Amino acid sequence: MLHALVEDVGDTQVVLDTIELYLEELPVRLSSMTAALTGERFDLLRDEAHALKSSSRMLGAGTLADQCRDLEAVTAAHLRQDTASGGTVTPMVDALQFEAFRVAQWLADFRAASYPGLDVPSASSGT
């Protein structure tokens, strides 16, 4: 998928810069989701899921994008009915975070393969 994106964009560096930005923002978004869940701020949780959804889809992380879509829909429905509870969405956020770390590693591996010898931090280090 990433190779197809490089072909579509026509510039490997643009894709690598996009990956870099995504990897920088991902831990911030995940932390915001955790804080929103802890504070039962389901409006913020919905907004973070929405923001992460499109960038994940663009980079080929379809499973993560689908999880974001589902979380966004559940939190939006709960907000309309004012019935949201942490117990309802906590497993969704947990699964989303697990997938996000998998995606981060996949993107870091792609970046490292594009620049052999580059010191690439692992997904567990926050990027």
- The CA-CA-CA angle for residues 42, 45, 51, to 5°, reads 145
DSSP 79-111: HHHT---HHHHHHHHHHHHHHHHHHHHHHHHHH
pLDDT score for 70: 95
Residue 51 has a pLDDT of: 96
Instruction: Specify the 3-state DSSP secondary structure of 124.
Output: helix
- Does the pLDDT at position 67 exceed 90? yes
d(CA 13, CA 79): 41
Surface-to-core class of residue 21, CB atoms within 10 Å of its CB (0-12 exposed, 13-18 middle, 19+ buried): exposed
Q: Provide the pLDDT for residue 115.
A: 66
* Range 11-116: architecture per CATH: Up-down Bundle (1.20)
Percent of the chain clearing pLDDT 70 (strictly above): 85
Q: What's the pLDDT at 77?
A: 85
Among the listed residues 104, 96, 111, the one whose alpha carbon sits nearest the alpha carbon of residue 125:
104
Q: Which pair of tokens denotes residue 125?
A: 């280090």
Q: What is the pLDDT of residues 77-117, one digit of tens each?
A: 888 886 655 567 999 999 999 999 999 999 999 988 876 65
What confidence category does residue 50 fall into, taking pLDDT thresholds of 50, 70 and 90? very high
Dihedrals phi, psi of 119, to nearest 5 degrees? -75, 105
Structural contact between residues 56 and 103, judged by C-beta atoms closer than 8 angstroms: yes
The owner of tokens 């879509």 is: 69
| Tens digits of residue pLDDT in 5-46 | 888 888 888 889 999 999 999 999 999 999 999 998 999 999
| Predicted TM-score of the model (pTM) | 0.83
pLDDT at 123: 44
